[in-house]
Structure 1
Amino acid sequence: MDYQELKKDLLLVGILVSFLTPFVRSSINLALPALAFEFDLSAVFLTWISTVYLLVNAILYIPFGRIGDIYGRKRIFQYGLIIFTISSFISAFSPSGEIFLAFRVLQAIGNAMIFANLNAMISSAFPEKERGRAFGLTSMGVFAGLIFGPILGGAITEMVGWRTLFYLDTVIGLIAVFAITRFKHDWIDAEGEKLDILGSFILGLSLLAIIYGFSDFTNSYSLFLVIAGIMGLSLFYLVEKRVRYPLINLGLFSSRSFTFGNITAFINYGAFVSVGFILTLYLQYLKGYDPLTAGLIVSVQSIVMVLVSPFAGRLSDKIAPEKVSTAGMVLTTLGVALMTLINFENALYLGGCSLIIFGAGIGLFYSANTKVVLSAVDRRYFGVASATLSDVRSMGQIFGMGIIMIIISTIMGDVEIMPSNYPQLILSLRYALIALAVLSAVGIFTSLHKD
């Protein structure tokens, strides 16, 4: 296989896999009310269906990125895809909400193995002047998954039930597994080095304490967990300075592009996933739309992302990618700010405009931000840098969902959503959007920093 053919095959696999996991995540959002009805789940439990997936990813991204650097990025990527596909299949047979949540953990492990290494594989195969276009095409796959996830998720849930979603996920996963097994090349840029097991353990426990404490901040022990997690990160820093092969080369953070690129990704993803969750609740509970109609409405922002992302990728190859990502943050902030003004009278036109603006912002930001971060490091650190970016994106999503969980828990309590508490739900969602708009505005300034 010649080098050009290798790059084409890698792009095809990358687009397919980039489609798969957001398709699963966004389709599940439309099935949440059906899951709540079948298993008698509370609003807070529904947030855990999304949060636990992100939590496991946050803990495992960096170790799997480092493992990919040492043992082969394609190998770990392939194993993760197999785990993801198997767990999707068994999720269809969940007898309870708790068992379904356990299967989501398995899915998250596979997802961490996949996305800790995908961008590192692309960075390894493509020179810097071509990476923006490559990231733009794979991000198009992500956003296409976000389009068809709500549409098919809503239609399938309404017509044949939520379990069929996972049969479809399994079929897509099998196609992706077949495609990657045909791909013979691998990249091992840190061969012979060792995985920092102690650092991985300390980092995982620290992130678990911080994220779990924050996501359930209404309990008395939450502050203790957050403090313990911060102390754990301090210990992790001391360990990493002393080991021969650290899990994370702390020198990477001396690059302003790498550091602030990750901070901005954290902020952007805090808004990205949280807005989709909020809109799902608003459209189905408060507006009374069926899952299919709600899915079609939510897909508007993803359609815009698909249209914008290839253009954004090519643009970030021609001009400074920091400028492209900053423009994306401006539009993201404006889109969320407009959503705070939505009410029953203007929901259709104002909601549509805000979704278009928000989708354009995310589409501009994604590939440009990926190029900023990955181009700031040496190729032997592509795996851990890619995993770090995936990790902060995942933590940003958890942070955003945590904001929603705190606000819902404070205003509504841990109760099932019913017409009698719709006024409290409306208030909760509006406050959550205001918080996300403020957070996005901060991201405009962090995205401006570069080396």
Structure 2
Amino acid sequence: MDKKYLKRDILIVGILVSFLTPFVRSSINLALPALAVEFDLSGVFLTWISTVYLLVNAILYIPFGRIGDIYGRKRIFQYGLIIFTISSFISAFSISGEMFLFFRILQAIGNAMIFANLNAMISSAFPENERGRAFGITSMSVFVGLIIGPILGGAITEIVGWRTLFYLDTIIGIIAAYAITRFKHDWIDAEGEKLDILGSFLLGISLIAIIYGFSNLTHKYSLFLLIGGIIALSLFYLVQKRVSFPLINLDLFKSRSFTFGNITAFINYGAFVSVGFILSLYLQYLKGYSPLTAGLIVSIQSIMMVIVSPFAGRLSDKIDPGNVSTAGMVLTTIGVALMTLINFENAPYLGIISLIIFGAGIGLFYSSNTKVVMSSVDKNYFGIASATLSNIRSMGQIFGMGIVLLIMSTILGNAQIMPSNYSQLIISLRLSLVALAVLSAIGIFTSILKD
């Protein structure tokens, strides 16, 4: 296949899927209050609707990245897209919160198969001096999904109901699935090697135990889960040092750019996903805005991401991408810090200012950080590097949501959000933002340490 058309086809598919999954995730945030009313769900259960999606992704990203290296990245990518599309359609027929949660898990499995391999496919097709632009274009598509998601999510939920969101997701998924069938090229860089099943199991068990234990620190069994998770993670490390075909090549972490690039991505994504969740609750419950109005406000940060991300991608091809990602972390921290000062009087103007700064920071960080990590490894490890970065991002999102869940469960308990406990809700949301601001500040230093 002509390399020019190969690049074009990968970008088309990358744009479609990069739009689809953030669109689904951000639109669902605006439908959460409607789900809570229809299925009588608590605030903690609403948090788990977002968290379980991220948890499944974190567990499966690396195994599916490795499977893509062995059996073909495009093949696993395509299967994931099919699973994601079918589960989106079935989600519209949920009759309980538990049923909806189950289909979210299926969506997450498909998403893990897709994004464990997307960045590897892009890195394989584009030379290093063009990757920043390619990542900038696909990241712009991510942010377009984040813009349209809240707006359409709010409008559709308000006008025709939340179930219609999943019919729309299905249509987009079908279009993307058709696009990938036209793409004939594939990469199988580890053909004949074996998947480390034991390592995959230990990694999954350790992540479940650590994340669930952290998210439920108020329960007496959480300490045992954390200890068990650390033990399983230690066993995973020992297995990786001894097997012929490890799930993760630990030598990759000898690169400072790879290690600290991933650590900073963990921190950045912890703030990114949690801020959107917090704002959705704040605007609808405390400010009394409709889902559509709340969606329009939340989309401000995503508009800034769309504006900034292509510029950040091109800039990363011209100067050190690490400096671009550090600048992004600085702006992200300032944006979250300003959000902690929002109250009922200054919300209209301070909220918009903080969202503009926060969105610009995420836009600068996303593509430049991806290039830092992917360019720090040899092409033979693109698959596992892509999967590791996606895994770390999901872990960061889980960690950020875990902070919010911990604070909300401590202050609100397991009660449904009602006017009688709005005072506790605003305290929990403000404390969550303070914690995320501190976390983002730490990310500035880890970004500097990558050099």
In structure 2, what is the Cα distance between the partners aligned to 1:184 and 1:368? 29
In structure 2, what is the Cα distance between the partners aligned to 1:160 and 1:218? 39
- State the AA in 2 paired with 1:416: Q
8 Å CA contact 2:264–2:446 kept in 1: the answer is yes
Correspondences of 1:341-352 after superposition (within 5 Å): 341-352=341-352
In structure 1, what is the Cα distance between the partners aligned to 2:230 and 2:127? 37
List per-residue Cα deviations over 1:4-26 (Å, max 9, x = no partner). 01101110110110000000000
Match of residue 291 from structure 1: 291
Residue 111 (structure 1) aligned with residue 117 (structure 2)? no
List per-residue Cα deviations over 1:150-176 (Å, max 9, x = no partner). 000000000000000000000000000
Match of residue 60 from structure 1: 60
List per-residue Cα deviations over 1:182-214 (Å, max 9, x = no partner). 000001111111111111111111111111111
In structure 2, what is the Cα distance between the partners aligned to 1:223 and 1:168? 42
In structure 1, what is the Cα distance between the partners aligned to 2:412 and 2:449? 40
- State the AA in 1 paired with 2:119: N
In structure 2, what is the Cα distance between the partners aligned to 1:28 and 1:215? 21
- The range that moved more, 101-110 or 403-412, is 403-412
Match of residue 138 from structure 2: 138
In structure 2, what is the Cα distance between the partners aligned to 1:240 and 1:107? 29
8 Å CA contact 1:189–1:379 kept in 2: the answer is no
In structure 1, what is the Cα distance between the partners aligned to 2:450 and 2:289? 45
Residue 22 (structure 1) aligned with residue 39 (structure 2)? no
8 Å CA contact 2:312–2:368 kept in 1: the answer is yes
Match of residue 424 from structure 1: 424
TM-score scaled to structure 2, two decimals?
A: 0.99
Match of residue 227 from structure 1: 227
- State the AA in 1 paired with 2:282: Y
In structure 1, what is the Cα distance between the partners aligned to 2:55 and 2:46? 14
List per-residue Cα deviations over 1:35-84 (Å, max 9, x = no partner). 00000000000000000000000000000000011111000000000000
In structure 2, what is the Cα distance between the partners aligned to 1:336 and 1:132? 26
Match of residue 88 from structure 1: 88
Gaps of 5+ in 1: none
8 Å CA contact 1:140–1:310 kept in 2: the answer is yes
In structure 2, what is the Cα distance between the partners aligned to 1:217 and 1:266? 21
In structure 1, what is the Cα distance between the partners aligned to 2:325 and 2:200? 31
Correspondences of 1:184-195 after superposition (within 5 Å): 184-195=184-195
Correspondences of 1:152-163 after superposition (within 5 Å): 152-163=152-163
Q: Secondary structure at the match of 1:246?
A: coil
Match of residue 391 from structure 1: 391
In structure 1, what is the Cα distance between the partners aligned to 2:85 and 2:293? 28
8 Å CA contact 1:61–1:388 kept in 2: the answer is yes
* Cα distance, 1:378 vs structure 2: 1.0
- State the AA in 2 paired with 1:439: L
List per-residue Cα deviations over 1:309-338 (Å, max 9, x = no partner). 000000001000110000000000000000
Correspondences of 1:49-448 after superposition (within 5 Å): 49-448=49-448
In structure 2, what is the Cα distance between the partners aligned to 1:223 and 1:275? 27
Q: Secondary structure at the match of 2:193?
A: coil
In structure 2, what is the Cα distance between the partners aligned to 1:214 and 1:95? 30
In structure 2, what is the Cα distance between the partners aligned to 1:113 and 1:22? 15
8 Å CA contact 1:133–1:314 kept in 2: the answer is yes
In structure 2, what is the Cα distance between the partners aligned to 1:218 and 1:36? 23
* Cα distance, 1:296 vs structure 2: 0.2
Q: Secondary structure at the match of 1:447?
A: helix
- State the AA in 1 paired with 2:152: L
8 Å CA contact 2:279–2:298 kept in 1: the answer is yes
- State the AA in 2 paired with 1:193: E
Q: Secondary structure at the match of 2:188?
A: coil
CA RMSD between the two structures: 0.6
8 Å CA contact 2:269–2:394 kept in 1: the answer is yes
List per-residue Cα deviations over 1:374-406 (Å, max 9, x = no partner). 111111111111111000100100000010011
* Cα distance, 1:227 vs structure 2: 1.2
8 Å CA contact 1:215–1:398 kept in 2: the answer is no
- State the AA in 2 paired with 1:131: R
Gaps of 5+ in 2: none
Q: Secondary structure at the match of 2:219?
A: coil
- State the AA in 1 paired with 2:417: I
- State the AA in 1 paired with 2:265: A
In structure 1, what is the Cα distance between the partners aligned to 2:449 and 2:320? 11
In structure 2, what is the Cα distance between the partners aligned to 1:248 and 1:71? 17
In structure 2, what is the Cα distance between the partners aligned to 1:116 and 1:407? 31
8 Å CA contact 1:374–1:386 kept in 2: the answer is yes
In structure 1, what is the Cα distance between the partners aligned to 2:363 and 2:217? 32
- State the AA in 2 paired with 1:155: A
* Cα distance, 1:448 vs structure 2: 1.2
The alignment of Structure 1 onto Structure 2 pairs a total of residues equal to 451
In structure 2, what is the Cα distance between the partners aligned to 1:227 and 1:391? 21
8 Å CA contact 2:153–2:165 kept in 1: the answer is yes
In structure 1, what is the Cα distance between the partners aligned to 2:244 and 2:63? 16
In structure 2, what is the Cα distance between the partners aligned to 1:313 and 1:220? 47
In structure 2, what is the Cα distance between the partners aligned to 1:94 and 1:332? 37
* Cα distance, 1:449 vs structure 2: 2.4
Match of residue 8 from structure 1: 8
Q: Secondary structure at the match of 1:305?
A: helix
Match of residue 42 from structure 2: 42
* Cα distance, 1:450 vs structure 2: 3.1
List per-residue Cα deviations over 1:74-122 (Å, max 9, x = no partner). 0000000000000000000001000000000000000000000000000
TM-score scaled to structure 1, two decimals?
A: 0.99
